[in-house]
């Protein structure tokens, strides 16, 4: 067993690997490994590492999708995106597999194992000592694995034969590592990334990151650090502690649920997908060089069976994909997003349109999925696709109860779409007795703000509650009345008037319909207005009805000033007129010119 | 009263239906009384004091007027236009309901127009009262209003309307009554039984096994007891055949009840024979 000369602390191995034990080390001008007394060197040490590795790209590429399958999570399935044959490997799985370069790392049955990610061929296996697999990186020569010990971490550096070349133990929580050119990059303490020489275990450099960081990733030939934001390891990395690194972040905007772009690299991921896997964000850094952005200008959010595509610049919703089953994993790829569903389907969506551009399958239902794509490019879909309004409509009319959170968001998005069909969709939802109450409320609020879709509004007002014909929810009379009034659309007046005498409408709808009629009604509606006024001036039980009576009176007064005034004055003097209505009628008479006293 | 709880199991199994049957029976009795006997001379009361009180616009006085009119019943029918006018101008909620009920008591078609308006009042009690009153004031407008009320959101309004349409012999509404029956407005069955033509009666009988037995036979009972000029013996025998086909104990009980009441000359020998055979055939019926 080889022991480092600079060992300054160590802990019990707990693993019978028979390899070098090292906890921390220090050298001239370099931080001691995982030391917390290190003073930020303004990027000097990490700059040196970057200079040393300049031109060194993570050598192996990996374009593969892995899934844990089987009722007891006893299978690992691989589908290479290159079109190579899929593979299966039987092994107990107690953690989510990790794709590290061209290697698939698994954990279960008391051991760690590595497979060739392209073929499923077993490379090596080792006892895990009961430690939980957290993450792994690989540069084609060595694989670095982070294992959690509960109160600290163990980092193993393993060569292709399975020989543990080095083991580093620390009391710090280390995150998901990456390996480039023999240097292991280990995020830790949510703010540092230490660059450790794989052969010596020495910390070569360290960078302090201003965003929370727990993952080091190789994507498309470049190295990145991140969790909340993504930082590229390039010649700007030395400026990271001053916030000057090449950095990209997803624009802040409302999203369904609380999706995460990157799961914290210090968390053990269970073999099977959890609720958090159904609520994810996907984005891919744009390129290894040049200004750092988001690939294709798109980021993606999944929420159960819905996938939303957003503009990476402004955060605007650009498309919605409704999937046949719940999405439980995936990865942003060049030109699109790759998704795995619980039925074992693999679907690639075109970033521009959200249309399906490629499909594949694991051939059976899966428990969870991980994907990595270095060079894979999503094919461009030939489908034009439907309008955003129609895509949203499909999503919000889905009956799946778990979707309500996303559907509410989409309804708000729909309210911003200027197409008339959006108005119709909102009305359909607000009129659907099977729709979730929260959705109905949102749809009603949105309808009131619409300034188009008059045809749909009038068609809706033409409907009334009808028990025999299964129309068990009145149309959204109030919101439509608001919209028609704002648009000064008098065509709706006869229909609104008919709703004054429909007892199935809510008090709120009644009040708003009457308010709209105060400005929209014509003489054609006078008989119904008079009838309503008479019926409810004395027997309106609630304030909304009283307000509606006052609005009806306003319309009557406008359309028939002489007789109308007489009617209203009589009503104010009638002791049976309700107090709330009377007060409003008196205000109305005072405000209206041309008093005609009735005795 | 011929129809009141003619079949005890109907009344026990379906209180709503029992109520409907009672309402129908009352209506039918009234109709029969009109057709069989000369209409009794109604002693008209002097409604001028009632009308005078109605015009005071004082709640107490209006209440008194309505009390007096209600007490007089149809004899105070001449007050109906004034009550209708008071309702149309607007009364407090309790007075509205009372006035609506009073219009029903007066049984004057002068009340129909305003009652049709209040049959869609926002207050459920007022709506129920108006629909019930319309079944007594009658007239084409009442039929339209009751047909509309079949689709009301309130089950009692729907049921009252369904019963009323049967009592009012509104044959044009049988289609809507079937729709109501399919939507569990059970009161519609009896009305359909009162109104159906042979094809419609057959359609009602075809509901056996699909809807509650008590509900359907409530209507079929009406069919069997209608005069031959309305429902032919052929149609009645077909209905009996449908019940017989069920081969159930409850079918046998129902047929036995019919057998007890099916006497000549209202029932032809052929129909009585069909009943007897059906009773025998279903004697060992399944539950």
What is the pLDDT at residue B57? 82
- Identify whether the C-beta of residue A381 lies closer than 8 Å to the C-beta of residue A353: yes
pLDDT at residue A449 is higher than 70? yes
- Rg of chain A over Cα atoms, rounded to whole angstroms, equals 33
Continuous H helices in chain B: 8-13, 15-36, 48-54, 59-72, 80-89, 93-106, 112-118, 124-137, 140-149, 155-167, 174-182, 187-195, 198-205, 213-225, 233-246, 249-261, 269-281
**Which band of pLDDT confidence, cut at 50, 70 and 90, is reported for residue B252?**
very high
Of A331, A350, A373, the residue at which a domain comes to its end is A373
Site from B61, B121, B122 to mutate, A interface, most A CB atoms within 10 angstroms: B122
Give the count of domains, chain A.
Answer: 2
Choose among A590, A501, A508, A578: nearest CA to A541.
Answer: A578
Mode of pairing for the β-strands spanning A203-208 and A230-232: unpaired
Continuous H helices in A43-161: 44-53
Residue A558 CA to residue A551 CA, distance in Å, equals 11
Give the mean model confidence (pLDDT) for residues B181-198: 97
Give the mean model confidence (pLDDT) for residues A234-252: 95
Closest Cα in chain B to A570: B89
pLDDT at residue B202 is higher than 90? yes
Residue A598 included in any domain:
yes
- CB-defined contacts A:B, below 8 A: 71
Residue B259 CA to residue B275 CA, distance in Å, equals 6
What is the pLDDT at residue B284? 76
Measured between beta carbons, which residues in chain A are less than 8 angstroms from residue B120?
Answer: 501-503
Residue A66 included in any domain:
no
Of A357, A373, A389, the residue at which a domain comes to its end is A373
Residue A442 backbone dihedrals phi, psi, to 5 degrees = -65, -40
Closest Cα in chain B to A567: B89
- Identify whether the C-beta of residue A356 lies closer than 8 Å to the C-beta of residue A348: yes
Residue A565 included in any domain:
yes
Tell me whether A543 touches chain B (CB under 8 Å).
no
DSSP of A490-517? GGGHHHHHHHHT-TTS-HHHHHHHHHHH
Choose among A106, A102, A126, A99: nearest CA to A116.
Answer: A102
pLDDT at residue B18 is higher than 70? no
Residue A402 backbone dihedrals phi, psi, to 5 degrees = -70, -10
Residue A367 CA to residue A372 CA, distance in Å, equals 17
pLDDT tens digits for A5-40?
A: 333 333 333 444 434 444 444 455 678 889 988 899
Give the mean model confidence (pLDDT) for residues B189-203: 96
What is the pLDDT at residue A30? 77
Site from A503, A541, A542, A569 to mutate, B interface, most B CB atoms within 10 angstroms: A503
CA distances from A405 to A257, A306, A390 (A): 7, 11, 19
- Comparing CB atoms, the residue among A504, A534, A574 nearest residue B88 is A534
Q: Who has greater pLDDT, B36 or A295?
A: A295
Residue A509 included in any domain:
yes
Peptide bond into B265 cis (omega under 30): yes
Give the mean model confidence (pLDDT) for residues A352-363: 96
Closest Cα in chain A to B175: A468
Residue A448 included in any domain:
no
Long-range contacts (CB closer than 8 Å, 24 or more residues apart) made by A428-435: A428/A393, A428/A397, A429/A396, A429/A397, A430/A475, A430/A476, A430/A479, A431/A460, A431/A463, A431/A473, A431/A474, A431/A475, A431/A476, A432/A397, A432/A473, A433/A472, A433/A473, A434/A399
- Comparing CB atoms, the residue among A469, A537, A541 nearest residue B90 is A537
What is the pLDDT at residue A581? 84
- Across the interface, whether the CB atoms of B151 and A465 are under 8 A apart is answered yes
Q: How far is B59 from chain A (nearest CA, A)?
A: 7
What is the pLDDT at residue A384? 80
Residues 148-187 of B with CB under 8 A from A: 150-153, 158, 176, 179-180, 183
DSSP H or E segment with residue A112: strand A111-116
Tell me the pLDDT of chain A averaged across its residues: 91
CA dihedral of residues A460, A462, A463, A466 (deg, nearest 10): 170
- Across the interface, whether the CB atoms of B89 and A531 are under 8 A apart is answered no
What is the pLDDT at residue A386? 87
Of A323, A347, A373, the residue at which a domain comes to its end is A373
The reply to whether ipTM tops 0.90 is no
Tell me whether B281 touches chain A (CB under 8 Å).
no
What is the pLDDT at residue A542? 74
DSSP H or E segment with residue A183: strand A183-188
Choose among A504, A517, A592: nearest CA to A552.
Answer: A517
Structure tokens at A60: 């192996």
- Comparing CB atoms, the residue among B59, B93, B120 nearest residue A502 is B120
Residue A467 included in any domain:
no
pLDDT at residue A588 is higher than 50? yes
What is the pLDDT at residue B15? 38
What is the pLDDT at residue A401? 85
- Across the interface, whether the CB atoms of B90 and A502 are under 8 A apart is answered no
Give the mean model confidence (pLDDT) for residues B134-155: 96
Residue A100 included in any domain:
no
- Identify whether the C-beta of residue A181 lies closer than 8 Å to the C-beta of residue A56: yes
Structure tokens at A196: 């450790």
Tell me the pLDDT of chain B averaged across its residues: 87
SS3 B81: helix
**Which band of pLDDT confidence, cut at 50, 70 and 90, is reported for residue A150?**
confident
Residue B171 CA to residue A105 CA, distance in Å, equals 80
Residue A359 belongs to domain with CATH number: 2.40.128.630
Residue B218 CA to residue B3 CA, distance in Å, equals 10
Its domain, for residue A323, covers: 275-373
Mode of pairing for the β-strands spanning A298-303 and A203-208: unpaired
- Across the interface, whether the CB atoms of B96 and A469 are under 8 A apart is answered no
Closest Cα in chain A to B119: A503
pLDDT tens digits for A490-529?
A: 999 999 999 999 999 999 999 999 999 999 999 999 999 9
Site from A433, A466, A468, A574 to mutate, B interface, most B CB atoms within 10 angstroms: A468
Closest Cα in chain A to B91: A538
pLDDT tens digits for A187-203?
A: 999 999 999 999 999 99
What is the pLDDT at residue A578? 84
Choose among A348, A63, A359: nearest CA to A220.
Answer: A63
Q: How far is A572 from chain B (nearest CA, A)?
A: 12
Residue A456 included in any domain:
no
- Helical pair B187-195 and B213-225, crossing angle rounded to 10 deg: 20
Strand order in the sheet with A87-90: A87-90, A75-80, A63-69, A366-373
Give the mean model confidence (pLDDT) for residues A56-76: 90
- Across the interface, whether the CB atoms of A577 and B122 are under 8 A apart is answered no
**Which band of pLDDT confidence, cut at 50, 70 and 90, is reported for residue A541?**
low
> What is the pTM (predicted TM-score) of this model?
0.76
Give the mean model confidence (pLDDT) for residues B253-259: 95
Q: How far is A473 from chain B (nearest CA, A)?
A: 10
Closest Cα in chain A to B121: A503
Residue A204 CA to residue A41 CA, distance in Å, equals 12
- Across the interface, whether the CB atoms of A531 and B58 are under 8 A apart is answered no
- Rg of chain B over Cα atoms, rounded to whole angstroms, equals 21
Percentage of chain A with pLDDT > 90?
80
Tell me whether B43 touches chain A (CB under 8 Å).
no
Measured between beta carbons, which residues in chain A are less than 8 angstroms from residue B93?
Answer: 538-539, 541
**Which band of pLDDT confidence, cut at 50, 70 and 90, is reported for residue B40?**
low
Tell me whether B19 touches chain A (CB under 8 Å).
no
Give the mean model confidence (pLDDT) for residues A270-296: 95
Choose among B178, B213, B243, B191: nearest CA to B13.
Answer: B213
């Amino acid at each position: 067993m080889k022991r480092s000369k600079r060992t300054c602390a160590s802990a019990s191995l707990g693993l019978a690997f028979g390899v070098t034990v090292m906890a921390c080390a220090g050298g001239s001008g370099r931080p001691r490994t995982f030391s917390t007394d290190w003073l930020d060197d303004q990027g000097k040490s990490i700059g040196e590492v970057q200079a040393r590795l300049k031109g060194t790209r993570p050598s192996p590429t990996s374009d593969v999708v892995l899934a844990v399958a089987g009722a007891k999570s006893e299978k690992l399935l691989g589908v290479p995106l290159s079109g190579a044959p899929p593979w299966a490997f039987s092994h107990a799985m107690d953690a989510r597999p990790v794709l590290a370069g061209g290697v698939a790392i698994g954990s279960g049955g008391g051991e760690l194992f590595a497979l060739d990610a392209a073929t499923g061929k077993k490379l090596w296996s080792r006892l895990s000592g009961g430690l939980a697999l957290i993450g792994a990186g690989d540069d084609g020569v060595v694989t670095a694995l982070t294992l959690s010990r509960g109160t600290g971490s163990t980092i193993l550096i393993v060569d292709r034969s399975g020989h543990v070349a080095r083991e580093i133990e620390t009391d710090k929580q280390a995150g998901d590592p990456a390996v480039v050119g023999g240097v292991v990059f280990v995020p830790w303490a949510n703010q540092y990334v230490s660059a450790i020489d794989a052969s010596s275990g020495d910390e070569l450099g360290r960078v302090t990151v201003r965003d929370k960081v727990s993952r080091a990733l190789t994507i498309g030939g470049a190295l990145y650090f991140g969790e909340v934001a993504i930082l590229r390891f390039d010649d700007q990395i030395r400026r990271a502690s001053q916030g000057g690194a090449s950095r990209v972040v997803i624009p802040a905007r409302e999203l369904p649920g609380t999706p995460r772009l990157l799961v914290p690299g210090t968390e053990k991921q269970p073999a099977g997908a959890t609720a958090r896997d159904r609520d994810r964000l996907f984005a891919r850094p744009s390129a290894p060089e040049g200004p750092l952005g988001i690939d294709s200008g798109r980021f993606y959010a999944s929420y159960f069976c819905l996938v939303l595509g957003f503009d990476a610049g402004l955060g605007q919703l650009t498309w919605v994909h409704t999937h046949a089953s719940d999405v439980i994993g995936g990865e942003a790829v060049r030109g699109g997003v790759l998704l795995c569903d619980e039925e074992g389907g693999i679907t690639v969506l075109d970033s521009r349109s959200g249309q399906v551009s490629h499909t594949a399958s694991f051939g059976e239902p899966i428990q969870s999925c991980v994907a990595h794509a270095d060079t894979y490019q999503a094919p461009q879909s030939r489908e034009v696709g439907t309008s955003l309004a129609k895509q949203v409509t499909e999503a919000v009319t889905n009956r799946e109860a778990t979707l309500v959170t996303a559907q509410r968001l989409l309804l708000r998005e729909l309210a911003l779409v200027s197409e008339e069909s959006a108005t119709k969709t909102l009305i359909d939802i607000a009129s659907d007795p099977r729709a979730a109450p929260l959705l109905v409320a949102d749809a009603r609020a949105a309808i009131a703000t619409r300034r188009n879709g008059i045809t749909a509004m009038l068609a809706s007002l033409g409907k009334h509650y009808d028990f025999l014909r299964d129309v068990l929810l009145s149309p959204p009379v109030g919101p439509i009345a608001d919209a028609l009034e704002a648009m000064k659309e008098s065509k709706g007046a006869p229909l609104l008037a008919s709703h004054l005498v429909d007892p199935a409408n809510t008090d709120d709808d009644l009040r708003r319909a009457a308010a709209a009629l105060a400005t929209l009604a014509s003489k054609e509606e006078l008989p119904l207005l008079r009838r309503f006024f008479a019926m409810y001036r004395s027997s309106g039980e609630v304030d909304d009805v009283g307000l509606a009576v006052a609005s009806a009176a306003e319309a009557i007064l406008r359309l028939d000033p002489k007789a109308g005034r007489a009617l209203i004055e009589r009503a104010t003097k009638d002791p049976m007129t309700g107090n709330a209505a009377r007060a409003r009628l008196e205000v109305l008479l005072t405000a209206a010119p041309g008093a005609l006293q009735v005795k | 009263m011929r129809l009141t709880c003619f079949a005890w199991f109907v009344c026990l199994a379906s209180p709503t239906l029992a109520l409907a049957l009672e309402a129908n029976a009352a209506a039918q009795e009234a109709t029969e009384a009109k057709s069989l006997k000369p209409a009794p001379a109604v002693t008209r009361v002097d409604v001028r004091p009632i009308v005078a009180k109605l015009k005071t616009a004082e709640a107490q006085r209006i209440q008194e007027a309505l009390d007096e009119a209600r007490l007089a019943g149809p004899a105070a029918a001449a007050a109906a236009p004034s009550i209708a006018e008071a309702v149309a101008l607007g009364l407090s909620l309790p007075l509205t309901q009372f006035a609506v009920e009073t219009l029903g008591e007066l049984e004057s078609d002068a009340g129909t127009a305003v009652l049709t308006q209040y049959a869609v009042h926002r207050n459920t009690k007022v709506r129920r009262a108006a629909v019930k009153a319309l079944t007594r004031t009658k007239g084409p407008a009442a039929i339209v209003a009751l047909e509309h009320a079949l689709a009301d959101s309130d089950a009692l309004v729907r049921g009252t309307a369904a019963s009323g349409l049967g009592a009012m012999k509104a044959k044009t509404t049988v289609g809507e009554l079937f729709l109501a029956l399919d939507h569990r407005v059970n009161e519609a069955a009896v009305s359909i039984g009162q109104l159906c033509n042979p094809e419609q009666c057959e359609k009602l009988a075809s509901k056996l096994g699909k809807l509650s037995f008590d509900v359907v036979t409530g209507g079929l009972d009406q069919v069997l007891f209608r005069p031959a000029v309305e429902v032919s013996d052929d149609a009645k025998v077909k209905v009996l055949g449908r019940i017989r086909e069920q081969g159930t104990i409850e079918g046998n009980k129902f047929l036995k009840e019919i057998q007890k009441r099916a006497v000549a000359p209202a029932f032809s020998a052929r129909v009585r024979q069909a009943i007897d055979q059906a009773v025998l055939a279903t004697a060992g019926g399944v539950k």
